[in-house]
Amino acid sequence: MPEEARKIFSVTEVTDTIRNLLREEPSLTGVAVRGELSNYGKSAQGHCYFTLKDENSSLKCVLFRGDAERLELDLEDGQKIVASGDIDVYRPSGSYQLIVREVNLEGVGELYQKFLQLKKLLETEGLFAEEHKKPLPAFPAKIGVVTSAKGAAFRDVVKVLGRRFPLADIILAPALVQGSGAPESIVSAIEILNRYDGIDVMIVGRGGGAFEELACFNDESVARTIFDSHIPVVSAVGHETDFTIADFVADRRAATPSAAAELVAPDITELQTSVDTYRESLVWGLKNMLESRKRDIKRLESGLSSDVVLDQIRTHSQRLDDRFLQMSRALKSFLSIRREGLRKLGGMLGTADPLATLDRGYSIVLKLPGKNVIETIESIDLGDDVLVMVRDGEIYCVVKNLKEVERRPRK
């Protein structure tokens, strides 16, 4: 073809032709592309630039500021992602690129996406801020627990508190901690404890589980109820590394229910050791002060010659001895009272022992073969074998009848 008959295009014309072809191709509009994120960077204007790559190819991508601000993820190199948007041509370089509208982590389900979205929303509203965290009481008299009445989490809390601080009352507000209806059940239990008189701190949680099983602790209504609680809340969902929304919004977070029990209550043994240490320090300080005053008097006495002054000094010295004797007697009385208090406390600890109830004429009923304590008729069925422990022996029985009796709850 002659040179003059052939149409000659400018670079811009070629680029625009290709650009229009790409824009008109339906399969390249709203396309979702899977790949590994690399070369991530953010401009001063807030636009994000990165490359998607797989084993054989790479694709340049741009995420403009408006879409980037709505993104619920923190992007970084090495992530496996699915980027959705439109294929376009960047005219200055003539290279094609993906205009990204949305980004999702590869392999992450809808549940986790909702978790990230809720976390960002509540964090933006300030529900995780340290300034809203309520301090935990040093010596709680009543400790509320929101968990399943049948789960191991509640038994672990009772066991730890019974060992560390048996003087506290434990108030259980039973709730579903998994499955349909669990968020509403947890919200109701937290609100009930907030209406209960005198509760000092609250533990909310359950034993560990998969991410899907912990979904109720990633519920927005549960998070806002924890935040609105006037009682300090310790989140105790039994998982060491992962966090739930409840962990972020609670006043304190514990890795397990047992760790939460240790967090909310002091150790009575350590308290007793501290009292003994303070007592010894007080006795030593009093003796040291009195000896110092006696030495001062002797120095004054040796430096004076007047019989009248010396007589007054001796009189005051004798009175000082009398004061010391009175203080010694008072100190002995004080220590005697404290020893009696510790003796009574030891008696209270003895009564907290489940086996001590046998000596008072009661019995303990265990379900066989696991020997679990039977607390409610819902935990046993007809025909089950049970063991009845009494003061002087054990009785083996078979359940032949069950009857539910309504009793007034203890407060």
* pLDDT confidence of residue 363: 84
Residue of 210, 214, 260 whose CA lies nearest to 235: 260
Which amino acid appears at position 56 of this protein?
A: N
* pLDDT confidence of residue 233: 97
* pLDDT confidence of residue 329: 82
CB-CB contact of 186 with 176 (8 Å)? yes
CB-CB contact of 67 with 30 (8 Å)? no
| Distant-in-sequence, close-in-space partners of 164: CB < 8 Å, separation ≥ 6 | 261, 262, 265, 266, 267, 268
**Hey, what are 145's tokens?**
């627990």
- Topology, domain 115-264: Rossmann fold (3.40.50)
Give the CA distances from residue 56 to residues 36, 38, 62, in Å, rounded to whole numbers and listed in that order. Answer: 12, 14, 20
* pLDDT confidence of residue 39: 92
Which amino acid appears at position 70 of this protein?
A: R
* DSSP H or E run through 204: strand 201-206
Across-strand partners of 42?
A: 48
Which CATH architecture describes the domain 3-108? Beta Barrel (2.40)
The ranges assigned to domains in the chain are 3-108, 115-264, 268-351, 357-398
* pLDDT confidence of residue 332: 80
Which amino acid appears at position 133 of this protein?
A: K
| Mean pLDDT (10-residue bins), the chain, 411 residues | 71 87 85 91 93 91 92 82 92 92 75 83 95 94 94 93 92 93 96 94 89 87 97 87 87 94 89 76 83 79 61 76 79 78 65 65 83 83 88 88 74 51
Q: Which residue shows structure tokens 């994120």?
A: 37
CA neighbours closer than 13 Å in the CB half-sphere of residue 265: 30
* pLDDT confidence of residue 346: 60
Q: Which residue shows structure tokens 């004797």?
A: 325
How many whole angstroms separate alpha carbon 387 and alpha carbon 255? 35
Residue of 225, 330, 344 whose CA lies nearest to 282: 330
DSSP-H helix ranges across 207-306:
220-228, 245-249, 257-264, 268-302
* pLDDT confidence of residue 110: 65
Q: What are phi and psi of 86, to 5 degrees?
A: -125, 140
* pLDDT confidence of residue 104: 84
3-state SS of 348-397?
Answer: HHHHCCCCHHHHCCCCEEEECCCCEECCCHHHCCCCCEEEEEECCEEEEE
**Hey, what are 70's tokens?**
């709505």
Which is it for strands 48-53 and 31-42: parallel, antiparallel or unpaired? antiparallel
